[in-house]
Each structure stands twice: as structure tokens, then as C-alpha cells.
Structure 1
Amino acid sequence: MSPIYLIAVAVIAIALLLFLVMKLKWPAYLALLAVSVLTALAAGIAIQEVIPTVIAGMGTTLGNVALLVGLGAMLGGIIEKTGGAEIIARKAAKVLGKDRLGPALLIASGLVAIPIFFDVAFIILVPIIFSFAKASAHKSPIALGAPVAVFMVFIHNAVPPHPGIVGSTTLLNPDVMGLVTILGILLAIPMGFVIWWLSKRIMARGSWEMSPEIAEKYADAGAANLGSGDREVDGGAGSGRAAITTADPVTGTSTTTAVRERTITTPSAGAVVALILLPIVMIAIGTVGKLIVEPETPVANVLAFIGAPALALLVACVLAMYLLGVRHGWGKQDMSDIMDSALAPAAIVVFVTGAGGVFARVLTESGIGDAVSGMLVDAGVPIIFLAFILALIFKVAQGSGTVATLTAAGLVQSTVAAGGYSELQVALIILAIAMGSVSLSHINDSGFWIATKFIGLSVAGGLKTWTFMCTVVGFLGMAIVSVAWLLASAIA
């Protein structure tokens, strides 16, 4: 089929996908699968090959995504429920001092955002944002909440094990997952400084009034106890001993039994930070080892095993069960329930990511990806900018960063596979897609509403803060990636 026809099919498919998700409110999973089937038929894939293509796309994508997102969700669930997120924020404030509460909270939020999905992580930190803002004598929590929200969503889009970046990496080259993780974290560090600098100047330009309900909550919020490192939390029954009385149903005789109640304590900030950093260090060992050790040797194989992201998260989860849970009074069944419950929201993300992989597979197998990316490449658009532009278009149109990254990765997959790019170049292409998925976030993005509603911003205020800062860091991040691309191309 002609490239023009295939491009027309792609345009119609994307428009239909956006219509189903945005106007008819179809679940993204269902919309992606339905559009994938229709696109495959329209693009000339044989009817008997349509469903096998769907299955292949789902299976290929879920191999990495299900492992990483599932384990990441479990680790995040443990950190959340055991009070780890709160204790990191408090400890950071204690170390940096009361006068540096904002930067302390930003640093803490960055650590919390690595293993925990943005929406959950931000909601966990909202009470801390309120109390820190109160202690810093801010008129509203917006001054601290806005930069924290933007920094966390940047990490969500740019650092595995979050679904969008994991899915796009799986599509383009699963072997660079560790490299993408390290580069994503390195990129997030300067972005944290930029976000804080931007937020201070934005806040200085307006009064930023809160919504009435948030203003009321903020008035009732107490300042954080910044001097406390750990705190003891009553596990629901208190500490010490209690008595349970049971009655015999036949004789009516009552028996009183003394039982020891459990006290649940909060883990130390050091333990929480160590467990967050552990998988990062393991991945770094594998990635650096690949560069300095001869391939296919026993040492290289051991380093690759240690640095596999799935193993790194598995080890962190197993250790977290004991170090953050059992050791601090949580029962074995409690920890099992916490980890199982963390999989429920993750399952939705996994299935949507898998469906995005199906759409990407159809785009590749039908030749649509070659046609679209080929047209833009022929027009002189470098692959690094092509990846960024495609992700940006999908982000603006439908809001979901995950869908934007997967669709963009599907469109450039064939071009990347045929381009003979080095692993570093492929990792930079993946980060370019991530930067596109961060930029221009607005009212069709769920993250926009989570950030604005929880800290009391109006829609206009959200556009002036969240949208503006997301766009600046997305484009600035893309500029940094572009410079790295030039250096990588010179080396290659």
C-alpha cells in the first residue's frame, strides 16, 4: 500500500482513539484494543493475522512492564503504608533545617517519586506539604505543593519503573533499561533546581488564592514536628496487654484470656532511603559493568544478572517486607495484604500499557510506522526530534503520558530498529519521548487535576504554574538530551 494511504490510516486511527477516550469516555484499554484491530484491517494485515498480532503485541510489551510496574507498585505500597514517605520528608527537613523546608521537601519528594506512581506519591505527601508550608509561614500550600508536583511528575515520566518509560524502552530496546534509569535520574537532578527556581519566581508574581475548601483545611493544618526523626504509631490496639473474653455456647461459661497487643513503629529515614537507592545502585552496577567488562564472560554475566531492573526491584521488595514491615511490628499477613492491594491500581496501568504495545505492534507490522517516520525523516527531521514531536503531539491531544510515549515509540520503532543506533543513542531517543510526554500538560491530563485540586489552585492558576513549569522542564530536558545526542553521535 502507498505511504500516503498508510499515513491517512494512522491519522484516522489516532483521531478515532482520541474521540473514543475523550468524547465517549471509553476506557483507554478498550479503546486501544478496538482501534488496533480496526487499524490492522484497514492497513492490509491479513484477517487471520490480526488477532495473533494483537496477542504478540500484548505479550511482548507485558514481559518487562508487568514485572517492573508490579514490583515497583509493591515497593511503593510498603513505603507508603509503613510511613516511609512521611519520615523521609521529616528527616530531610531536619537535616537541612527549618529555613530550607522547601528544598528539603523537594529532595524528599524526588526520592519518594522514584518507586511510587505520581498520583499516589503526591497524595501521600499532601499533609506534609501543608504542615511544611505552615511552618515556613507561607500564605498557602501552593508555594511548596506546585514545585513538588511538577518534580514528581517529571520523574514519573523519565525514570523507570514507571509504566510509560518502561513501555517505550521495551518497544525500542529492553537492553537499555538500566542506562535509561541512570540517565533519567541524572537528568532529574538539574531539573529539580530549575523547578525550584521557576516556582519561586512564579509565586512572587501573584497572590495565588486557594479554593475555599483547601483554605479551610490549610487553616486547620498543624506545623510539622521537625525535630522528630522516628515516631511510634499505635497499631490500632495500642501497646501492652489486653483481655479477650469468650463464652462457651453450650455452658455459657466465660473465659478471659490475656493477649499481647502489637505496637507498630515507623522505620528510620535511613532504611527507607537505602531501600529506594538499592535497586538504583544494583542497576548502575550492571550498566557500568557492561561498559568496562568483556561481554559474554562469567563476570559480565554476573554483573548483568545483578543489574537487571526486575531483580533489583525484587530484592528491594523482599528486604522492604522485613526492614520496613515485620521488623517494625507489622504482621506477615499485614505485609501480604499491603503488597496485594498495591497491585490493584497497578493492574490497570499494566493492561493499558499492554494495549498501547498492541497499537504500537500494529503500527509497526502494517508499515504505518515506517511510512510516518519515513516521511518526517525524509523531510529532514532528525530521529531525536521526531521522537520528541510525536510524543508532544499525543500528550497535548489526549493527556495521558503513558499513551503518548507508547504511541510515539510505536511510530519510530521501525526507524530506530533500522538505524543502527548505539545503546546510548537509543536511550536518548527514549528520553526525548519522555520529555515530549512531560511538556504542555493541561486540563486533559489527570495529573493536572490531582496537583491543582489537592493544593487549591484554580484552573487558571494550574495553567500558570503546573502547565508552565512542565513545559519549561520538558523543553529544557529535550535541549539537554539534544546536546547529549550530538556528543553520542560524534562518539559513534
Structure 2
Amino acid sequence: METLLSPTDGGYLLLVALAAVAALLWLIVFVRLHAFVALCLVSLATALAAGIAIDAVVPTLLSSFGGTLASVALLVGLGAMIGKLLEASGGAQVLADKLISLFGPSKAPLALGVASLCFGFPIFFDAGLIVMMPIIFSVARRFGGSILTYALPAAGAFAVMHAFVPPHPGPVAAANFLGADMGLLLLVGLLIAIPTWYLGAYLFGLYAGKKFLVNIQNTLFQPSADDPSLPLPAFSQVIIILLLPILLIFLDTGLNTLLLAGVIESDSVLIDTLRLLGKTPVALLITLIMCLLVFRARFGMKKMEQICSDSLAPICGVILVTGAGGMFGGVLRASGIGDALAALLSDIGLPLIVAAFVISACLRVAQGSATVALTTTAALMAPTVLQTTGLSPIDLCCIVIAIAGGATVLSHFNDSGFWLVSRLFNMDESTTLKTWTVMETLLGTIAFVIAYLISWVF
């Protein structure tokens, strides 16, 4: 007979997850151990405690670490080069000037947020944030104060678009599981995402900027010593560089949505080629080449090589810590903690839309990955949803949003996005928990409440 402390028991696995998170808090916040070392140590201990076979522990750690690096390192590296070139050329200043002239100095955070909402429609969260970084810092240096005043509205904009609006992969996958109409989900997602961003990211960003003073210090995008006699690049050049990766990525996400909807065929060489160009690393690489061509006359190739080299040195810590965070989350997933939690929550007797949010939120907290939480919950809820009569098309869309909202809340140590934001904005772990984690929780909860009200009214 299995005991409560058997590694195959769901209750035991949940205790292991809680102990692992508590250990990370203690090591990082109180012992002041470097986050990379703490994540490696706790990941190893968690793998052993969760019953992963000894000969599989190291492969599990390496595959989780490598998988995160595969998705993060290229994006951060290419994005850092693009951002540094925009900063050094004065392109970030040009765009910042344009935004401020349109919205006014007092609405600089709103300007950054609205721009990020527009850019975030087709582009993924991490890629969008990296590309916007030099503009965020350029605006923040001009007006002073905490970087959070400007960063959180922009980061929150990318977060809500990525979580709730097709053609991003999370809501598209959930819609396919539950049979929701993609066009209607796009409309409902936008109607929910915009007020969610305003309440949970813009207003909270203004509050957090006053409460938490995070100095505008970032070695990745420091002011350049460019020759002041050289004219600033044209606004059209800057906007083309920023729109290029967005348009390319939309080739992939948009065509993927059409493929899933059966509008176009999947066995087309042309479609496959266009989707290849739209893969985020390829899109950023093409954009970087465009930057090099545009700014070649301004800097010369030797100077641009130096700028690109200078941009890579500071991101080593960002990449390694983010990879270690992904490793910790990967260990939790490999241990079966998410499956155990899903089994415990599957028959809790809550209303359908509430159960979708709760299960997704618990899976998010347990294993860190929003995508895993979203797709697992959608697959788990699909039989019940499909067998339930009387659900309108709007109800199905609201359930998708509820699942996405649950998968957004409580980003913490096992989420690689937590470490990416922490390192990019030069925040310690305690401040990141009090700002980024709180904002993510607000965004997920507000979206769920709005979706619940829409479902109840309609």
C-alpha cells in the first residue's frame, strides 16, 4: 500500500512543490544566494525528492535548461543587438519624441502602453518587450522617476495581448480544444484585454512607480556617445524597423490561425516558407540585417560590430538566470506535479467557467509555464465543455479567456518570464514579486471577472 509520502502520491508531490518554492525564497531573499545558483540547487533537490530516477535527473535538468535557452537566448541576443543599434543611432529617441508629441509628457506611460498594445497584436511577449526596451529606457531617462512607471504599462500590454488575443498560440490552442469560434474569440479577447490592461497594468504601473523606486540603470541600453553632429534617423526608418518583425511574425501566427480554421491548405511550400520567415528568431534576424543596412552609412561596419558585441556582454546573466528558471519549472513538470494537481481539482464541483480559472491558476502556480497550464486545462476541460448543453459561442470564448486568465496569475520563481523581467529591469527578487507578480495576478483576475460577467449577461 502506498503511503502519504510516496513519490507517486499527489499530495506528496504538491508538498515537494511547496517546499521547493519556500526553499528558493529562503535562499534568494534571506541567504542572498545568487538566483542562478539557488535555482540550480533547488532544481536538483526537487528532482530527487519528487522521485525522478537518478539516472534521469541530469538529463531532465539539462533538457529543461536547454529548452528554455533555445526559446530565450536567440530572442534576447538578436533583440539586444537591434535595441542597441536603435539606441546608439538615436532611433529610440526619435520614436520616444514622436510618442510624447502625440500623447504629451504627462501621458508618457500611456503612450508606451498603447504602442505596446499595437505592437503586441502579432508579436510574442518576450520578443515584443525586448524590441521595446530601448524606447522604454529612452522615455524613462527623459522624465526620471522609477523605471516601473514606464515599464509595467508596456510589459502589461504585451502580456494581455499574448494571453488573451488570437493569433497568439495560447488562446488559439484553447479555442481548438473547446471548439470556440476564432473570429469571435478575437473580438471578445480584445474587448477584455483593453480594460484589463488599463486597470491591471497602466493604473497599477503608475502606483508601483510611486511606491517602488527602481533606478534607471541598465547596462544594455545606456545612453550612447554617438556623434551629435550626425542627424537623427528619420521616423519612417525607425517605424519600419519596429514594424518589420511584427509583420513577419504575423505571417506565422496569422497563417497558423488560417490553417487551423481550414481556410488554407497545410501542404503548400509557399505557406511553409512564409511561416519560416515569421518564426520569431528568423524575423528578428531579418530585422537585425535591416538595421545593419540602414545604419551602415552612419556607423560603418567596424563600429556596428563593436555595438553588437557591446550589446551581448550584459545579457549573459539575463539568459542564464532565465534558463535556470525554466529548468526549475521543467523539473516540476517532469515530476508529475501538474498532473497530480489536475487530478485533485478535476471534480471540485465549481461552475464551469470558475473551475476553468481555478484549475488553470493552480497549474500555473505549481509548474510555472503559462502555456502548459493553459493547454493542460483546456484539454482537461474539453470533454465536460463539449458535453455541456446550452453553452453559447460567447460562453465558449469566455471559458477560453478564464483559462488564459488563470494561466497568467502569480508568476513567480518557476516561471522563466519572472526572471526575464527581473533581470531586464534590474529588479531584485523581492521587488519583482511585489510588482511583476502582483501585476500578472491583477491581469489574470480582472480578465476572468470580466469574462465571467460577459458569460453571465449573455
The interval holding the TM-score normalised by the smaller chain is 0.5 to 0.7
Partner of 1:293: helix, strand, or coil?
coil
Q: For the residues of structure 2 that align with 1:196 and 1:48, how far apart are their CA atoms?
A: 44
How far apart are residue 287 of structure 1 and its match? Answer: 1.9
Q: For the residues of structure 1 that align with 2:72 and 2:205, how far apart are their CA atoms?
A: 37
Aligned to 1:150, which of 149, 152, 169? 152
Q: In structure 2, what is the equivalent of residue 278 of structure 1?
A: 244
TM-score using structure 2 length: 0.66
Q: For the residues of structure 2 that align with 1:264 and 1:67, how far apart are their CA atoms?
A: 31
- Cα deviations across residues 228-251 of structure 1 (Å, max 9, x unaligned)? xxxxx9845x7xxxxxxxxxxxxx
Q: In structure 2, what is the equivalent of residue 90 of structure 1?
A: 97
How far apart are residue 452 of structure 1 and its match? Answer: 12
Q: Is the 8 A contact 2:377 2:403 kept in 1?
A: no
Which amino acid in 1 is paired with 2:446?
L
* 1:67 partnered with 2:74: yes
* 1:305 partnered with 2:276: yes
How far apart are residue 19 of structure 1 and its match? Answer: 1.3
Pick the structure with more strand per residue: 1
How far apart are residue 312 of structure 1 and its match? Answer: 1.1
Q: Is the 8 A contact 2:292 2:304 kept in 1?
A: yes
- Cα deviations across residues 304-346 of structure 1 (Å, max 9, x unaligned)? 21221111111111112222x324x113222222222222333
How far apart are residue 365 of structure 1 and its match? Answer: 2.3
Aligned to 1:35, which of 42, 46, 59? 42
Q: Is the 8 A contact 2:402 2:448 kept in 1?
A: no
Q: In structure 2, what is the equivalent of residue 385 of structure 1?
A: 358
1:284-433 counterparts in 2 under 5 A?
A: 284-290=250-256, 291=258, 292-323=263-294, 325-327=295-297, 329-380=298-349, 382-388=355-361, 391=364, 405-406=368-369, 429=403, 432-433=406-407
- Cα deviations across residues 331-371 of structure 1 (Å, max 9, x unaligned)? 32222222222223333222222222222222222222211
Q: For the residues of structure 1 that align with 2:156 and 2:200, how far apart are their CA atoms?
A: 10
Q: Is the 8 A contact 1:384 1:482 kept in 2?
A: no
Q: In structure 2, what is the equivalent of residue 116 of structure 1?
A: 130
TM-score using structure 1 length: 0.62
Q: In structure 1, what is the equivalent of residue 23 of structure 2?
A: 16
Partner of 2:230: helix, strand, or coil?
strand
**Identity of paired residues, percent?**
30
Name stretches of at least 5 consecutive residues in structure 2 with no aligned partner. Answer: 1-7, 121-126, 163-167, 175-181, 216-223, 387-396, 413-417
* 1:125 partnered with 2:133: no
Partner of 1:296: helix, strand, or coil?
coil
Which amino acid in 1 is paired with 2:130?
I
Q: Report the CA distance shift for 1:470/1:307 in structure 2 as closer, same or farther (over 3 A).
A: closer
Q: Which has the larger radius of gyration?
A: 1
Count of aligned positions: 386
How far apart are residue 151 of structure 1 and its match? Answer: 0.5
Q: Is the 8 A contact 2:356 2:381 kept in 1?
A: no
Q: For the residues of structure 2 that align with 1:415 and 1:471, how far apart are their CA atoms?
A: 18
Q: For the residues of structure 2 that align with 1:354 and 1:105, how far apart are their CA atoms?
A: 28
RMSD in angstroms over aligned alpha carbons? 5.0
Which amino acid in 2 is paired with 1:69?
V
- Cα deviations across residues 275-326 of structure 1 (Å, max 9, x unaligned)? 1121111121222222132112223212321221111111111112222x32
How far apart are residue 274 of structure 1 and its match? Answer: 2.0
Q: For the residues of structure 2 that align with 1:88 and 1:382, how far apart are their CA atoms?
A: 44
